[in-house]
Amino acid sequence: MSVARFWRQQVQRYNLVGNHCRNCDEYYYPPRTTCPFCRRNGEMEEYKFSGKGELVTYTIIHSAAEGFEHQTPYVLGIVKLEEGPRLTSQIIAQPEDVNIGMKVRPVFRKLGESGDKGMLHYGTKFTPA
Amino acid sequence: MRDVAIIGSYTTKFGEMWERSFRDIVVEAGVGALEDAGVGGESIDSMFVGNMSGGQFVEQEHIGALIADYSGLAAGLHVPSTRVEAACASGGLAFRQGIQSVASGYNDIVVAAGVEKMTDVSSVGASSALAAAADREWEGMMGATFPGLYAMIARMHMQQYGTTSEQLAQVAVKNHKNGTNNPIAQYRNNITVDKVLNSIMVADPLHIFDCSPITDGAAALVLAPAEDAHKYTDTPIYIKGSGQASDTIALHDRRDITTLDASVYAAKRAYEMAGIGPDDVDVAEVHDCFTIAEICAIEDLGFVEKGQGGRFVEEGNTVIGGKIPVNTSGGLKACGHPVGATGIKQAAEIVNQLRGEAGKRQVEGAEIGLAHNVGGSGATALVHVLGRER
């Protein structure tokens, strides 16, 4: 991922900043510029999520995505934040300790890097609460 | 709107074709379909080509013109050619675009084709290219892979409905069995449930034998107005219904992670247009990019109640001779999955079935067939209902 592409989402990735629509009171993460329900009538504002949530579903990845080869096996899951939105992230735990419905909390971690001399990518992963 | 018929169909051999190029295979498909229809290049009004990612797989864009050129339809004839893309549903989308252009009266004879050449990059490169069908920034960036996304669907399906790894494996076993009787299939060998369950884990609970392979292949159909179809062929196959729907690009944003709402809506629209229901379908080609995807598909298309898909497979309802034979071609799993070609190949297999030309795979007395094509983890779906009778 190019520097500009990562950099412009840095705040959202590092601090779990998404959106809240004042019109329908829905919360969004990953961030969106337009409320998908209110569309042009929506009033989006930035919102920082607590990051507390629970695990909706998960998998243990043995065959890694490009750039994640040295992390296998890693746990990838869908987390439902307490405000409602769901997101995809890694769960830092032993695979046998992970189960659907478990409470999780956010942690700041390195996600990966662009090659040997490229930029390091950081972001939010989750760990059992 | 005019009724539309398929008057020609051709699918290349699917597999790892090191010796053949992108343009070789797609030209073979196009020429084969025109031969089957008995029409020449000068009759073609327009072409639609489904291709997910020539750019990533063979570093080639501008696919529409390339294919027209190498088919002999560019210089001299200057036939308009349009590439369409909806990830793994690119073929189904090309089919629908072709149908719409004939139905509207804008064109008479149209070629709808699909192609992907996936083996010119490493398997890591191919996986990376495929990841672009999901949300690159909020799924891929976190380490999600395609098998990983479907594995999360599978785990939730297991948790909610009691679906088992054995039931998933039975989908692969059945599709391999069908593949043994399909001359164009990538894999023509039988496998067992044990073989699937003992194969390496890719993304728990999905093993390598739960996943469709990386494949080269192309397919093409020739479309014409229904009223003219008998001028070209004694066995036209009619398009009864066509449905397309979208959903969120990321799996985490779906209403229900175990339901592909895009499939539900595309099916609803296609059934309504055809004036039929799921019980009227005699044979179906569904999008089994992973074994769990076939189970979700038979539920989302209405062949079985939500959550009962695993049991339905286990009871043998989806085999040839069962209640609703599914993926007689071998499906994506055994026939192979050249992503842009799959949607056209599915329709071509239904054409084989409805013409009565499917050999040992023939579903006796098939009158109505369905083709179901999905893009990404369910962000696009297309459903087509085809019939022997207008």
Counted domains in chain B: 2
On whether the CB atoms of residues A77 and A89 are closer than 8 A, the answer is yes
Tell me if A59 and B155 make a contact (CB, 8 A cut-off).
Answer: yes
Asked, for residue B129, whether it belongs to a domain, the answer is no
A78, closest residue in chain B (CA to CA): B252
Query: Which residues in chain B have Cβ-Cβ distances shorter than 8 Å to A112?
Result: 143
Distance of alpha carbon A36 from alpha carbon A30, whole angstroms: 13
pLDDT in tens for each of the 129 residues of chain A?
778 888 888 888 888 999 999 999 999 999 999 999 999 999 999 999 999 999 999 999 999 988 888 889 999 999 999 999 999 999 999 999 999 999 999 999 998 887 777 788 899 999 999
Whether B104 and B172 map to the same domain: the answer is no
User: Does the beta carbon of B168 lie under 8 angstroms from any beta carbon of chain A?
Assistant: no
Subunit contact B250:A88, Cβ cutoff 8 A: yes
Judging by DSSP bridges, how do beta strands A53-61 and A74-81 pair with one another? antiparallel
Last-in-domain residue among B198, B231, B264: B231
Q: Do A87 and B138 touch (CB under 8 A)?
A: yes
For B346-360, the pLDDT digits (tens) are 999 999 999 999 999
Q: Are residues A55 and A117 in the same domain?
A: yes
Token output for A56: 């909706």
Residues 113-152 of B with CB under 8 A from A: 124, 127-128, 131, 135, 137-145, 147-148, 151-152
Are A65 and B143 in contact (CB < 8 Å)? yes
Write out the residue range of the structural domain in which residue B361 sits: 135-211+240-387
Inter-chain CB proximity A65 and B206 less than 8 Å: no
> Do A32 and A95 have their domain in common?
no
Please tell me whether residues A72 and A114 are part of one structural domain: yes
In which domain, by residue range, is A37 found? Answer: 1-48
Cβ contact A89–B251 (<8 Å): no
The verdict on a CB contact (< 8 Å) between A61 and B206 is no
Q: What is the largest CA-CA distance in chain A?
A: 46
| Nearest-angstrom CA–CA distance, B320 and B139 | 37
Report chain B's C-alpha Rg in angstroms: 19
SS3 A48: strand
- Residue A71 touches chain B, beta carbons under 8 Å: yes
Q: Are residues B329 and B187 both part of a single domain? A: yes
The single-letter code of the amino acid at A97 is D
- Give B135's contacts in chain A (Cβ within 8 Å): 30, 88
User: Does the residue B128 lie in any domain?
Assistant: no
Tell me what pLDDT residue A77 has: 98
Question: Which of B254, B221, B251 has its CA nearest to residue B238?
Answer: B221
pLDDT given for residue A36 in this prediction: 94
- CA-wise closest residue to A71 among A86, A92, A100, A44: A92
Smallest Cβ distance to A65: which of B140, B201, B253? B140
Residues A88, A117: one domain? yes
My answer on whether B199 and B221 are in the same domain is: no
Distant-in-sequence, close-in-space partners of B88: CB < 8 Å, separation ≥ 6: B52, B130, B133, B287, B289, B337, B339, B342, B373, B374, B375, B376
pLDDT of residue B360: 96
Q: Is A2 on the interface with B (CB under 8 A)?
A: no
- Decide if A59 and B251 are in contact by the 8 Å CB cutoff: no
- Specify whether B69 is located in the same domain as B152: no
B104 Cα to chain A: minimum distance (Å): 31
Asked whether residue A109 falls in the same domain as residue A65, the answer is yes
Are A38 and A89 found together in one domain? no
Whether B289 is in a domain gets the answer yes
Residues A25 and A35 both lie in one domain: yes
Residue in chain A nearest B143 by alpha carbon: A65
Residue B125: per-residue pLDDT: 86
Total domains in the fold of chain A: 2
> Which A residues in the span 87-126 are in contact with B, Cβ-Cβ below 8 Å?
87-90, 95, 100, 111-112, 121, 123
Q: Based on the fold, state whether residues B118 and B140 are members of the same structural domain.
A: no
Query: Can you list the positions of beta strands (E) in B137-286?
Result: 201-204, 206-207, 216-225, 237-246, 283-285
Here the CATH number for the domain that contains residue B201 is 3.40.47.10
A-B contacts at Cβ under 8 angstroms:
98
Does A9 lie in the same domain as A64?
A: no
Could you tell me if B221 and B207 lie in one domain? Answer: no
Contact A30 B159 (CB under 8 A): no
Q: Does B250 touch chain A (CB under 8 A)?
A: yes
Task: Give the distance from residue A58's alpha carbon to the nearest chain B alpha carbon, in angstroms.
Answer: 5
Catalytic residue chosen out of the listed positions B176, B287, B337, B384:
B337
Which of B124, B140, B152 faces A59 most closely, judged by CB atoms?
Answer: B152
Residues A73 and A122 reside in one and the same domain:
yes
Rg (CA), chain A: 16
Residue B142 gets the label, from left (phi > 0), alpha (psi -120 to 50) or beta, of alpha
Query: Which three-class secondary structure state does DSSP give residue B314?
Result: helix
Same domain, A22 and A58: no
Q: Which residues, given as ranges, of chain B have pLDDT below 70?
A: none
How much is the pTM? 0.96
Catalytic residue status for B88: yes
A33, A48, A63 — which closes off a domain? A48
Q: Are residues B166 and B269 in the same domain?
A: yes
Q: How far away is chain A from the Cα of B124, in angstroms, using its nearest Cα?
A: 7
CATH at residue A116 = 2.40.50
Alpha helices (runs of H) in chain A, residue ranges in sequence order: 3-7, 10-15
Give the separation between CA B286 and CA B294, rounded to whole angstroms: 6
Are residues B310 and B374 both part of a single domain? yes
Residue B278 has what pLDDT?
98
Which tokens sit at B16?
């790892």
User: How far is it, in rounded angstroms, from Cα B102 to Cα B85?
Assistant: 20
